[in-house]
Structures are given as structure tokens and as C-alpha cells.
Amino acid sequence: MVIIIAVNYLPTTREEMQEIGWERLDFLLITGDAYVDHPSFGAAIIGRRLEALGYRVGILPQPDWRNPLGLKEMGAPLLGILVTGGNLDSMLNHYTARKNKRKKDAYSPDGKMGLRPDRATIVYTNMARQVFKNIPIIIGGIEASLRRFVHYDYWDNKLRRSILFDSKADLLVYGMAEYQIKHLAAGLKKGKLVQQLSQIPGICYIADKEPAQCVRIPSYEQCMKGKAAFAEAFKLAYQEQDPVRGKAIAQKHGDKLLIQNPPAPILSTQELDAIYDLPYRRKSHPRYKGKEIPGLSEVRFSLVSQRGCFGACSFCALHFHQGKIIQARSKESLLAEATGFVLDPDFKGYIHDVGGPTANFRQPACKKQIKMGTCRERQCLSPTPCKNLQVTHDDYLDILRSLRKVPGIKKVFVRSGIRYDYLLLDKNSRFLQELCQYHISGQLKVAPEHASPAVTKYMGKPSIDVFDQFRDAYMKMNKKLHKKQYLIPYFMSGHPGTTLHDAIYLAEYLRDLNFQPDQVQEFIPTPGSLSTAMYYTGIHPFTKKKVHVPKGEEKAMQRALLQFKKRENHNLVLRALKKAGRLDLVGKGKKCLIIEVR
């Protein structure tokens, strides 16, 4: 193997290649994000991973999609072209829940919009195919991962084929990809054709026939003909997203088949440590000198302590990308990274976060998951916690305590999502005490999402009673510690299963709580989530029962009811209350939401 010394930054131009003595790349990595050499950016992780394995990698960030020849900046790579739309699906990056154009792109210099195209993965891949002809093209990242099957696209308001067909790539890597890229690169280096690498776990490919022992799900054509078929396809695919017990999946598109291999094996603690111990610069590339990448500011001095989430919120597609089995880094790796912060002249002594998708998940939900996988039907926390759930914060608490002792670190914050229902199951209150005492910067944000029992059930969230219990425990703990710290709950409007009466129920809850959210999270149907399947079909894929889906003015009414005190929402709230027959909430009484203006 050729030994390559780690470079300050992976090259982005021919000149940078020449400065480090490279004549030709092994891999060209095209990304829709600015190049930020930080482990919170997927392109940096894959680039550094390949570099550590001895490959020459160049990163082409946000190329001009109107000029395909621009992809030749660093020449044709020897082994392959890797394409990612970036850290966020490009359509979600560009458009709001109301399909209005967003004003800022958090992953572009100075937040500038317009530096990547809509459907970036498809556009970049088609450009690469036009320019490089026969070089293998592999797509990955969140956009490719969540669009790997037939999927509902909110912005087109229709079903779309697997992105592998529309992009014309050779292979699709889903999930976090470090395992897959290692084996793909090794195979390509040995001279294997890309088609000969199609059996690697964690990838999708196009085939003429089904593999043995696969699960056949309704085809693109069947899904187009009936929503029940799409709901069934989602259910069957959802149930196989497990690295231990999952089977291959086949979905027909015309006369071809999309094949998804079972998910890649989970990484051990040592393997995950090795990924985060790579020589990241933790900054944006010098080409952006004088410009800020907003998405970096939030995470530059944060620590990713784990991956995966067994919370299974319906509106989250994380299970489709990182999976439900927790993969955690060691305390030693986290301490080494934190110690590195202290040496950075820009570090002010504050670690902004220690967490992941859910900060207080540090081990698999139960002992059987590593050997037997996750349950096919049962969720770990909803509608009620599983009796086999392991509940402990000891490991996480030990890490936080150790980080507090590192010389040069003034404060360690926890800003990732805390799953408060899991926290309450811990009979030991030490974690809550130290969380309040040391790790909150004035307020803690949590996400009950709704108050209506029917809606929280659809969301896969605990009942509002559990939030009330946590709020009481949190307030009591802060009082005990003589601290004045607030609890900021997040709520969501317009989720499938939410009727106008449910939205009013939430408004009354907020009234009684004497809380009005500054920001409202309006449900956006993004590919890969259970909630999106419900939104498109009006069916719950697992129960086959009909689900009410708020749209149009009703969706706007539900959003307005979350902020019923705002003057600009008055007319919508009034119309909603009239439509629901709840004029008892209009007037000057203590229980009224608004005063009718005549």
C-alpha cells in the first residue's frame, strides 16, 4: 500500500494537488456543502477515512452545476467519483414547510443561497457521468440514503423513483458509510468492476434479478397505482433496517430491480474512535478566508459522543440512516478530542455540546440487540417503555465529569436532545442534578411536540403527562440548586393524525402552561420517515387504519393556534375556533384564547 502522509486539508484544486506532490487522485469527492474539515461534515469524514487507508482524495465543494467541465478541475480520478448532496437533503436545505425559498444555507460561505442546485445528488452525478464517462460513480450522504427506495417528494407532491435510477450512479451507499467505503475502495484498487462489489452490506444497486432470501416490496408501478401499496412498501422496508437480522430488499422499477443489501455492521467503540481520531483541522478550508460557514459555528467545539437512536420518533428518519442500535465512542477518545480544543487559539473554554441524535443514549436499548438485532414490531420507548430497556446514565455522567476536569475547559454544555422520558426512568437522580448544576446555559430545550394523546401516539412520543412530570422534577432540582434556569419545550403543528380539535387541545395546554413558543416547528414531510408515509397515503403503514392529514387552510390554522396570542394570527385562530365549534374560547374570560374584534 502507498503510504500517504496526512495533509492539512484535502486538495480542492489542481494547484493544491501539486503543492503536496500529487499528480492524480484516486477518488474525487463532490459535495453540495462548503468544504469544512470537521467530523460533523460527511465529506470530511469520508475524505479523511480514505486518506487514512492510503488513498489520494480531492474534494470538489459546491461546483458550478451549469458548467460540467468544471468537474475536471483536478483531473479524472483513478478509482472512482463519490457524490453527496451535503449534510442536509438539498430540497429541505432550500425550501420551508410552505415551500418558500429559504434565505440562508447553513452549509455555504456566509450562508449564501444558490451555491448548490435543487436535487444536488442527481445533478452532480449526471454532470460527472457526462464528463467522466466510464469511471465508477458512487452516491451517498443523507439525500441519497433517505431517497434510496420509491419515496414521496413533498416539493414535487408526487412519488419519485429511487434516486439511484434518476442519478444514473453505479452504486448507492446508505447510512454513515465508513464501513462500505473501505471495502469499495479496496475492491476498486484490486481492479474489480464496480458491479462485482454489489454484495457489500450497506449499499444499493440495480439488478436484473432478485438475490436469494430477499424481501420483495411493492414496485414503483404498484406504488404509483395505489397509496396502500406505498404504505406496505414502507412498512416492509422499515422492518428490515437492522444490521443483525435485516434481509436484502428488492423493489422493481420497470424491468429492473433496486436491491438494498442489509445494513452495514455497526461500528465497535474502537472503530468509531478511529473515525473521530482522524486529523481533522476542525475549520473551513482556507479558500473561504474571511467568510463564515454558519453550520460550523454550532459544532466546531462540540463532541459527538454516539450515533443511532432507539427513540423512534415517527417524523424522524434517523433509523433509516444511522439505525436504532447505539454506537458510542470511548471516554478516552472524547477526552483526547477535548484536550485538543484547549490548544486551539479560538477556543474560549466552552464545549458547546456532548451528544448525538439523543444525548443521553450511550448504550444499546437492551442486551439482546447486539446479537439478535432490534425488535421487528416493538418500539423501545413508545407507546410505553419496554420492560427489557436498560436505563443508566452512569457512563455519560462519568464522561461529563471527566470533561469538566480537563485544564482549560470552563464549561461543558449539553445541547443535543435529551430524551426526558428515558431520563425519568432512571431511579438515580444524579444525572438530572449534575445536568442542572453544570451543563445548562440558562435554559434546557426538550421536545414534547404535542399535548393531545392521539397525536403523541402517532408521533411515537411520550404522553404530555410525562413531560409534566419532567418539568416538575426539573423545576424542583433547580430550586434545590438555587438556580434560575428555564425549560423551553418544542411543539409541532400539522403532523399527520392531528385534527383541528387536537390543535385546540394543544393551544389550551399552552394557555394553562402560560407559554407561547417563539418559534413553531411546522411538520415537513421528508423522505424516509413514518410520518411522511402517513402524510402521503393517509394510512398508518403498520395498522392500515386511516389517518387524518391536515392540509391547506387547516394546516395554517393549526400553526396559528400554536401562537394564538400573536396579532397576525387572530383571524386564522378565530376561523379555526368557529369551524371547530369552540366559540367558548373567544371572549374575555381566563380560559379564552382570543378576544373577538368586531
> 496 exposed, middle or buried (CB, 10 Å; 0-12, 13-18, 19+)?
buried
Cell of 214: 430477499
* pLDDT at residue 416, rounded to an integer: 85
Residue 408 lies in a domain: no
Domain total for the chain?
2
**Half-sphere exposure of residue 4: CA atoms within 13 angstroms, side-chain side:** 23
List per-residue pLDDT tens for the chain, 598 residues long: 334 445 699 999 999 999 999 999 999 999 999 999 999 999 999 999 999 999 999 999 999 999 999 999 999 999 999 999 999 999 999 999 999 999 999 999 999 999 999 999 999 999 999 999 899 999 999 999 999 999 999 999 999 999 999 999 999 999 999 999 999 999 999 999 998 999 999 999 999 999 999 999 999 999 999 999 999 999 999 999 999 999 999 999 999 999 999 999 999 999 999 999 999 999 999 999 999 999 999 899 999 999 999 998 999 998 889 999 999 999 999 999 999 999 999 999 999 999 999 999 999 999 999 999 999 888 999 889 999 999 999 999 999 999 999 999 999 999 988 999 999 999 999 999 999 999 998 999 999 999 999 999 999 999 999 999 999 999 999 999 999 999 999 999 999 999 999 999 999 999 999 999 988 899 999 999 999 999 999 999 999 999 999 999 999 999 999 999 999 999 999 999 999 999 999 999 999 999 976 5
Last residue of a domain, one of 190, 205, 220: 205
Residue 226 lies in a domain: no
Residue 347 lies in a domain: no
**Backbone phi, psi, residue 302, to 5°:** -115, 160
Cell of 348: 474560549
Closest among 527, 102, 133, 176 to 325, alpha carbons compared:
176
Q: What CATH number did the domain enclosing 158 receive?
A: 3.40.50.280
Q: For residue 250, give the H/E element and its range.
A: strand 249-253
* pLDDT at residue 596, rounded to an integer: 77
Q: Is residue 51 within 8 Å of 10, Cβ to Cβ?
A: yes
* pLDDT at residue 520, rounded to an integer: 86
User: Exposed e or buried b for every residue in 504-515, given b needs 16+ CB within 10 A?
Assistant: bbbbbbbbeeee
Task: Tell me how crowded residue 527 is: count the other CB atoms within 10 A of its CB.
Answer: 25
* Whole-number Å distance between alpha carbons of 519 and 506: 15
Residue 265 lies in a domain: no
Task: Tell me how crowded residue 78 is: count the other CB atoms within 10 A of its CB.
Answer: 15
* pLDDT at residue 598, rounded to an integer: 54
Last residue of a domain, one of 143, 173, 205: 205
Residue 193 lies in a domain: yes
Q: Is residue 455 within 8 Å of 497, Cβ to Cβ?
A: yes
Q: What is the DSSP letter of 520?
A: -
The DSSP secondary structure of 486-506, one letter per residue, reads EEEEEEEES-TT--HHHHHHH
Q: Is residue 182 within 8 Å of 27, Cβ to Cβ?
A: no
Residue 359 lies in a domain: no
Range of the domain at 62: 14-205
Q: Is residue 491 within 8 Å of 448, Cβ to Cβ?
A: yes
Q: What CATH number did the domain enclosing 480 receive?
A: 3.30.750.200
Residue 569 lies in a domain: yes
Q: Is residue 57 within 8 Å of 26, Cβ to Cβ?
A: yes
Residue 67 lies in a domain: yes
Last residue of a domain, one of 205, 228, 258: 205
Q: Is residue 62 within 8 Å of 304, Cβ to Cβ?
A: no
* Whole-number Å distance between alpha carbons of 457 and 133: 50
* pLDDT at residue 143, rounded to an integer: 98
